[in-house]
């Protein structure tokens, strides 16, 4: 697949989860020979056609940026700690930068269609309070976008990306519905938060009840509960996770989650590229982090887990063992 084909507007968007997985494999392969277990895992990952396509497209994007081999690049910051002898470094820095730049470019290219459809949006690290015409309020999280469609018989919001907290003005004659990922949430009370996660959405109800629809059926989610939904998915309804809406106050509350997921959350609040490679991605993390100072949060995690970091200024940070 050529670089030109990778940049073709006619191609469907590359799912963020697949893009991150492809970048991780690119970086790991470029760092040192894969162990037999890693090679088996990589081959298993490649059996999915969507994964093969994602890998090819990401490689094409960085070639389009004309990133050359490591010996053709200027000197780069050294990795903080020496690699163990059994895992010698080869072109890790060059491959890491290539994959990182490709993902950053990919995100930039795919944001434009979303922003053109949005009535309101936020940049990275920004939270914005919006007063709607009906008296409802929306708090948009970092990197989020919504489109508003109020008509004679309904109030409809499309969550295009990111997350938002909706505080709904009562009006029984005009239902208030938030659409996301092919499903919907209709207010039966006053306040709830919805966040998109790739091809699914998650709702957390903070006041009263919300009717959530997906997969051709509906469920009522009550105060203090949450559920995932999409065009083909609904439920189960469970108790809301601790700190599920802490982002509204600029905090990220984590309870026993994989480091890869935690860094993906923090990455939503800063410019550049942030990830973790290898087994460290599965390490469990708990803590409360300040989303207004994401770099400090990353350094706190790195230090507490005794991880190494490859950094290119503050724009590219890759944690690893």
What per-residue confidence (pLDDT) applies to 321? 81
Q: Cα–Cα distances in Å, from 22 out to 30, 40, 61, 305?
A: 12, 15, 12, 24
Residue with tokens 């469609």: 149
Please name the residues in contact with 43: beta carbons below 8 A apart, sequence gap of 6 or more.
none
Distance CA 260, CA 235 (A): 24
Strands 137-140 and 128-131: antiparallel
What per-residue confidence (pLDDT) applies to 8? 42
What per-residue confidence (pLDDT) applies to 245? 95
Angle in degrees, 0-180, between the axes of helices 259-267 and 294-304, rounded to the nearest 10: 160
Distance CA 81, CA 134 (A): 56
pLDDT tens by residue, the chain, 321 residues? 333 333 344 456 667 677 777 877 876 776 567 888 888 988 999 999 988 888 887 776 655 544 443 333 333 333 233 333 344 444 445 555 556 555 655 555 556 677 778 999 998 899 999 999 999 999 999 999 999 999 989 999 999 999 999 999 999 899 999 999 999 999 987 899 999 987 899 999 999 999 999 999 999 999 999 999 999 999 899 999 989 999 999 999 999 999 999 999 999 998 878 888 888 989 999 999 999 999 999 999 999 999 988 776 677 788 888
Query: How many Cα atoms occupy the beta-carbon half-sphere of 316 within 13 Å?
Result: 21
What per-residue confidence (pLDDT) applies to 154? 92
Largest CA-CA distance found in the chain, in angstroms, rounded:
70
Report DSSP state, residue 140.
Answer: E
**CATH dotted code for 250-320:** 3.55.50.30
| Whether 124 contacts 271, CB under 8 Å | yes
What per-residue confidence (pLDDT) applies to 13? 62
For residue 268, which of 104, 115, 126, 143 has the smallest C-alpha distance? 143
Beta-bridge mates of residue 193: 165, 204
CATH class, 128-239 region? mainly beta
Q: Is 143 exposed, middle or buried (0-12, 13-18, 19+ CB in 10 A)?
A: buried
**For the chain, domain boundaries:** 3-117, 128-239, 250-320
What per-residue confidence (pLDDT) applies to 147? 96
Strands 316-320 and 308-312: antiparallel
Angle in degrees, 0-180, between the axes of helices 49-64 and 92-117, rounded to the nearest 10: 100
């Amino acid at each position: 697949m050529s670089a030109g084909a990778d940049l073709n507007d006619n191609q469907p968007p590359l799912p963020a989860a697949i893009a991150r997985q492809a970048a991780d494999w690119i970086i790991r392969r470029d760092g040192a020979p894969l162990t037999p277990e890693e090679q088996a895992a990589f081959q298993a990952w490649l059996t999915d056609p969507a994964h093969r396509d994602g890998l090819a497209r990401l490689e094409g994007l960085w070639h389009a940026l004309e990133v050359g081999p490591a010996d053709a690049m200027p000197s780069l910051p050294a990795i903080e700690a020496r690699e163990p002898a059994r895992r010698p470094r080869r072109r890790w820095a060059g491959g890491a930068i290539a994959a990182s730049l490709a993902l950053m470019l990919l995100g930039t290219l795919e944001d434009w269609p979303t922003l053109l459809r949005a009535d309101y949006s936020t940049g990275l690290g920004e939270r914005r309070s919006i007063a709607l015409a009906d008296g409802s309020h929306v708090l948009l999280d970092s990197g989020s976008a919504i489109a508003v469609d109020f008509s004679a018989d309904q109030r409809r919001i499309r969550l295009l990306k990111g997350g938002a907290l909706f505080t709904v003005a009562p009006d029984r004659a005009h239902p208030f519905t938030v659409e996301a990922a092919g499903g919907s949430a209709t207010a039966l009370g006053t306040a709830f938060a919805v966040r998109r996660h790739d091809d699914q959405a998650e709702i957390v109800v903070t006041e009263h009840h919300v009717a959530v629809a997906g997969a051709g059926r509906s469920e009522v989610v009550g105060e203090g509960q949450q559920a995932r939904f999409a065009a083909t998915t609904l439920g189960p309804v469970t108790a809301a996770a601790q700190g599920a809406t802490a982002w509204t106050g600029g905090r990220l509350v984590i309870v026993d989650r994989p480091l890869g997921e935690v860094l993906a959350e923090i990455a939503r609040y800063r410019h550049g590229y942030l990830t973790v490679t290898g087994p460290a991605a599965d390490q469990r993390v708990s803590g409360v982090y300040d989303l207004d100072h994401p770099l400090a949060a990353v350094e706190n995690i790195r230090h507490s887990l005794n991880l190494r970091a490859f950094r290119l200024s503050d724009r590219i940070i890759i944690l690893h063992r």
